[in-house]
Structure 1
Amino acid sequence: MSQRETWATRVGFILAAVGSAVGLGNVWQFPFQTGANGGAAFIVVYLAAVFLIGFPAMLAEFVIGRRAERNPIDAFARLGHRDWRVVGVLGTLSAFWILAFYSVVGGWVIRYIVGSATGAYFSGSEAYFGAIAAGPDAVGLHAVFMALTVGVVALGVTDGIERSTKLMVPSIVLLLGGLAVWAVTLDGGGAGYAYYLSPDIDTLVANIGSILPAAVGQAFFTLSLGMGAMLTYASYLGRDDSLPADGATIVVLNTFVGLLAGLVVFPILFSLGIEPGSGGLGAAFITLAGAFAQLPAGRLLGVVFFVVLLLAALSSAISLLEVVTAYLVDNTDRSRSTLAVALGAAIFALGVPSAFGLPILSWYNAIAYNLLLPLSVLCLLLFVGWVDTDDAVAELRRGTGLGEGGAVAWLWFVRTVVPLGVLVTLLLGLQSLAVRAGLLAEAVV
C-alpha cells in the first residue's frame, strides 16, 4: 500500500475545499432555488442555515477526517467505532450518487460553451436546451465531463487536486466578479436587486415549510456536506492547522461566491422581464441563455458565464470522485490512476439514465437533496455530539487558541441545535419526496 498523500500547503487545502463547495450548487442551483422560493426570503433562511447548521457540521467532518487520516468509511473504524462505519458508507454512497447526475449537468455546460461561441441557441433557448439535455449527445458529453474529472483525480492530491483548484477557484471569483460589475449597467436591473436583496417577511412566514428544506439542502449541497468530501479533504491535513479558522474561511468564501452569482443572474433576468425560478433544473440554461441571446456581446458573455460554470462544476466533481477513490487507495495496492478510471466508469454508468430524461435527473437530484444529504449529516452529528465527544473537542482545539469553553459550546450546539434543524429538514424532505411519488403515481395511472 502506497504512502498516503497530504496537502502541500494550507492554502491548497482551503482552495480545494472552497472548490468543492463552490460548484454547480452555487452557480446552477443557487439562483434557481432562490427564484423558486421567494427571492430574498430564501436568502435569509439560507444564510442562517449556512452559519448555524452548515459551519458546525463542517467542523464535525473536519475533526473526524483529520484525526483519523482515512477515508470516510475507514475513519470510524480507526477511531475505535467500527459499528459507525455505516455513516461513512452513507456519505461515500451520497458522493457516488450525486456525481452520477452532476456529471450529466457538467456535460450540458460544455455544450453551452460551444453554443455560446457559435450562437447556436440564440434563435430559441428553450428548444435548444430540450434538444441537448437528454439523449445520446447528453450521454456523450456526460462521458467527456467524467473523463476530465477522472484525469485530475488520477494525478493525485497535490499534483492533481491542489494544483487544479489553485487555478480554478481564483478564476471563478474573478470572472463572476467581472460579470457582476457589468450587470450593474443593465437597464431595469434594479428590480432584480430588490427581489434578491429585500426580503418579504410575509412570503417567508407563509412558505417556511417549503423554504426551510430547500435552504438547508442548498447549504449542505454548496458546502459539500454529507457526501464525505470535507471529511476526506481534512484527512490530508497537517496536525497544526486551525480547523475553525480554515472552516470559517471556506464558508465565507463559498457564501460570497453564491451571493455573487445571484448578483449576476437576477439583474439579467429582470432587465429582460424573465420570471425568476422558471425553467426548473434547466433554469440557468434556458433563461440565461435566452438573456444572452438578447444582450449586446451576448456570445462573449455567454462563453464567460458558462466557462465559470464549467470550472465550478469540475472543482466540485473532483472532490466527489476523490471521496470514493480515497477508500480504494487506502485499502488496495492498485494505482490511483487505475482506481480513478474504474470508479469514473462506474459512476458514468449510474448517471446514464439521468441523461435520457430531465424527470429522471430531477429524481436523482431530489433524492440527494431531500434524503441522502440530510440523513448523512444527521448521523455524523450524532456520532460527534454523543459518541466521540472528548476526542472531538480536543481535535477541534488542536492548532488553535480556542479555549475549552468555546470548544464545548460548539459540541453542545452539534449535540442539540444542529441535529434538530437537520431532523426537521429531513422530515420535510421526506414529505416532499412522498408528494412527488404520489404525483408520479397519479400520472402513471
Structure 2
Amino acid sequence: MVERETWATRTGFILAAVGSAVGLGNVWRFPYQVGEFGGAAFLVVYLALIALVGFPVLMVEFTVGRYTDRNPVGALKQIGRGPWKRIGWVFVLAGFVILSYYSVVAGWVLQYTAYGLQGNFAADGAAQFGATYGGITPVLTHAIFMAAVIAVVGLGIRQGIELAVKLMVPAIIALTIGLAVYAATLPGAGEAYAYYLSPNLGTIAANWTEILPAAAGQAFFTLSLGMGVMITYASYLGEDRNLAKDGLIIVGLDTAIAFTIGLVAFPILFSGGVGVSEITEIGAGAGFIFISLSQAFANLPLGGVLGAIFFATVAIAALSSAISILEVVVSYLIDEHGVDRGPATAIIGTAIFLAGVPVAYDGGLSWLTVYDQLANYILLVLGALLLSIYVGWIKSDLGLEELGKGVKNLGAWGITWIWVLRIPVIIVLVVVLTLNAIEAYTQISGVLSGLVG
C-alpha cells in the first residue's frame, strides 16, 4: 500500500477546491449559458440550484471522501453494498471524459491569449474561431496544456497541487476583480447590467424545461460535482475539519467569481457592439468567449491587451481545475493498484491526451458535442443522483457521523441536510437527468449520424 498524502494546511485544501471549481466552468461555460438561456433568468435558477442542490451534494462527496480516505472507486468499494459498489466508476469515467475535451478548450485559450498579445483579434470573430479549432495546432496546444497538468499533479499533493493553487487562485481572484472594475467604466455597462441582473420571471416560466437542466449542469460542472474531485480532495483531509464550514467558503468563493465573470463579460460585449440579439446568434455554445468576446475586444481601445489579460485569466483557471480532475483518476491507480505517483500521472495523462485528440483535430466540433453531452449532461448528474440516494437513504448514519466531526453540535442542521438530500435534491436530479437524457440523445444521435454519413 502506497502511503497516502494529506493537505499541509486548511487554506491549501480550500484553495484547491476553489481552484477546481473556478475553472472553465466559470469562465468558459457560465457566460455562454447565461447568454443562451435568457440572461438574468438563467442566473436566478443557477443560484437557486447552487444553494438547494449543489451545496447538499458537495457535503455528500466530502463525507464519503473523508470517511474512506480513498478515490471514488475505492470509496464506494469500501462503503457500498452490491451494485452500489460500482458507483465510483461513474465519477472516474466522467472526469476522464471531461478532461479529454477540457484540455482541448484550454488549448484554444492559449491560442487566444497569443492573439491578444499580438493584437490579432478579428472583427469577424466567427471566421477567426473557425480558423483556430481543428487540425494540428489545436492538437499541439492540447498537448502543451496536458503536459503542464501532468507536471503539477506528478509533484504530489503538497509540492504540486497545493503549492500551485496557492499561487493561481489568488491570481484568478485579483485579475477577475480588476477586469470587473475596468468593465464597469465601459459605455455599455449599464445596458449590460440590466440584461444580466434584471430577471424576467416570465422567461423562466416559459422556458423552464431548457433553463433547469442547463443551470443544473452548470452548477455541477462549476462545483466539480459528479466527477469525483471533491471525494478525492476530501480524502486527503484530517478529521478535525468542519466540512460544512469549509464547503460554504468554497461554494461562496466559486459563486462570487462566476458572478463577477458575468460583470466582466457582458459590459465588454455590449460596449464592443455585441448586443442581446447577437449573443446567442453568433456566439452561443463552445465558441462564446472565442467568438463574441474576441469580436468585442477587436472593437475596444486597447482590446488586444485587455483580451490577453482575460484569456490569461481563463488559462490559469483552466489549469487549476484540470489538475483536480486528473488527480481523481491518478488517485485510483495509486490507491487501488499501488502505482507510484509519477508513473500513474504519466500513464493517465497520456491516455487522456489521446482521448482528446479527436476533439482537437475535429474541424466541426462534432466530437466536442458528443463528449460534453455524455459527460456533463449524463454522467455528472447520474453520479450525483446515485450517490445522493445511497448516502441519503442507505448510509445516512455515515453521512451524519462524518459531517458531525469538527462540529460542536450538528443537531437539527444535520437532519435538515439529510431530508433535503432525500427528497428535493433527488427529485430535482431525477427531473434534470430525464430532461438531459432526452437532449443528449437528440444531440449525440444527430452528431453520430453526420459522422457516419
TM-score normalised according to structure 1 size: 0.97
Pick aligned residue for 2:345 from 327, 331, 340: 340
- Aligned AA (1:150): I
- Aligned AA (1:302): G
Of residues 433-442 and 376-385 in structure 1, the stretch that sits farther from structure 2 once superposed is 433-442
- Give the fraction of aligned pairs with identical amino acids, expressed as a percent: 49
4+ runs of 1 displaced by more than 4 Å? 437-445
CA distance in 1 between partners of 2:46 and 2:214 (Å): 8
In the alignment, is the contact (CA less than 8 A) between 2:71 and 2:328 conserved in 1?
A: yes
Residue 3 to residue 366, structure 1, CA distance change in 2 (3 Å):
same
Number of aligned pairs? 445
- Aligned AA (2:443): R
TM-superposition CA deviations, 1:131-187 (whole Å, max 9, x none): 121111111111111100000000001110001011111100100100000001111
Pick aligned residue for 1:430 from 437, 446, 450: 437
* Residue 297, structure 1, aligned to residue 302, structure 2: yes
Q: Which residue of 2 aligns with 1:162?
A: 162
TM-superposition CA deviations, 1:76-105 (whole Å, max 9, x none): 222364642311111011000100000000
Unpaired segments ≥5 residues, structure 2: none
The CA deviation at 1:244 is 0.3
TM-superposition CA deviations, 1:100-120 (whole Å, max 9, x none): 000000111111111110123
Q: Which residue of 2 aligns with 1:257?
A: 257
Q: Which residue of 1 aligns with 2:404?
A: 397
CA distance in 1 between partners of 2:444 and 2:349 (Å): 30
- Aligned AA (2:325): L
Q: Which residue of 2 aligns with 1:385?
A: 392
CA distance in 2 between partners of 1:78 and 1:435 (Å): 37
CA distance in 2 between partners of 1:438 and 1:68 (Å): 39
Residue 441 to residue 395, structure 1, CA distance change in 2 (3 Å):
closer
CA distance in 2 between partners of 1:267 and 1:365 (Å): 28
CA distance in 2 between partners of 1:139 and 1:442 (Å): 25
CA distance in 2 between partners of 1:441 and 1:300 (Å): 40
Residue 18 to residue 172, structure 1, CA distance change in 2 (3 Å):
same
Name the SS for the 1:350 alignment partner: helix
In the alignment, is the contact (CA less than 8 A) between 2:272 and 2:295 conserved in 1?
A: no
Unpaired segments ≥5 residues, structure 1: none
TM-superposition CA deviations, 1:369-404 (whole Å, max 9, x none): 211111010011011111111121111111013433
In the alignment, is the contact (CA less than 8 A) between 2:20 and 2:324 conserved in 1?
A: yes
Q: Which residue of 2 aligns with 1:32?
A: 32
Q: Which residue of 1 aligns with 2:7?
A: 7
The CA deviation at 1:127 is 2.1
In the alignment, is the contact (CA less than 8 A) between 1:28 and 1:284 conserved in 2?
A: yes
Task: Note the 1:216-235 alignment, pairs <5 A.
Answer: 216-235=216-235
Name the SS for the 1:276 alignment partner: helix
Q: Which residue of 2 aligns with 1:419?
A: 426
CA distance in 1 between partners of 2:192 and 2:46 (Å): 18
In the alignment, is the contact (CA less than 8 A) between 1:77 and 1:83 conserved in 2?
A: no
* Residue 150, structure 1, aligned to residue 150, structure 2: yes
CA distance in 2 between partners of 1:37 and 1:332 (Å): 44
Aligned-pair Cα RMSD in Å? 1.5
Name the SS for the 1:416 alignment partner: helix
In the alignment, is the contact (CA less than 8 A) between 1:20 and 1:223 conserved in 2?
A: yes
The CA deviation at 1:128 is 2.1
- Aligned AA (2:298): A
The CA deviation at 1:412 is 1.1
Of residues 73-82 and 91-100 in structure 1, the stretch that sits farther from structure 2 once superposed is 73-82
CA distance in 1 between partners of 2:388 and 2:12 (Å): 27
The CA deviation at 1:441 is 7.3
The CA deviation at 1:126 is 2.3
